[in-house]
């Protein structure tokens, strides 16, 4: 996603390790705050990225300390686009569907459920960019009061 109307808010490459997630959460929040987004919107975006990164670390890289994640936050007209690219083995997007919401919550699949609840769309780009394993693209419309 890049055209003349797209404004890049943040790009970051980081090691796919759980201890780096706190810094990433702070950078996303600070970036969105600097661009005038309200606290609820910031919290939703931080939550979605955190869940996605945890899934990449846990499932794509299987806690391999050498994994890399590329993060991009872009604003295109009235839509925030978040892209996460990893270099792990390509996953089958059908394996990454959110679990059905039932009365009793059980472990597993909640990250994708949360991501789909706070974002307007969550999708894997197929095929991913050359050299990448997976590219996750999450989008959410921006209300005028949000930024």
SS3 content of the chain, % helix, strand, coil (to 5): 35, 25, 35
**CATH number for the segment(s) 6-146:** 3.30.565.10
**Domain-wise residue ranges, the chain:** 6-146
Cα–Cα distance, 75 to 30 (Å, whole number): 15
Q: Which stretches of 2-145 are DSSP H helices? A: 21-34, 39-55, 110-118
> What are residue 15's phi and psi, to 5 degrees?
-70, 135
| 114-136 residue pLDDT tens | 999 999 999 999 888 899 999 99
Write down the pTM of the prediction: 0.87
| 9-23 residue pLDDT tens | 999 999 999 999 999
Residue 109: its pLDDT value, please?
66
């Amino acid at each position: 996603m890049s055209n003349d109307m797209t404004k890049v808010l943040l790009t970051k490459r980081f090691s796919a390790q759980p201890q780096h997630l706190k810094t990433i959460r702070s950078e996303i929040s600070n970036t969105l705050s600097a661009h005038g987004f309200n606290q609820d919107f910031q919290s939703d975006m931080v939550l979605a990225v955190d869940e996605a990164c945890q899934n990449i670390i846990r499932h794509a890289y299987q806690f391999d300390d050498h994994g890399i994640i590329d993060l991009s936050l872009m604003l295109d007209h009235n839509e925030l686009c978040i892209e996460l690219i990893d270099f792990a083995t390509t996953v089958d997007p059908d394996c990454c569907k959110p679990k059905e919401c039932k009365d009793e919550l059980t472990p597993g699949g909640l990250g994708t459920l949360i991501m789909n609840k706070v974002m307007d769309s969550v999708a894997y780009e197929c095929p991913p960019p050359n050299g990448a394993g997976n590219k996750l693209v999450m989008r959410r419309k921006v209300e005028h009061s949000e930024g």
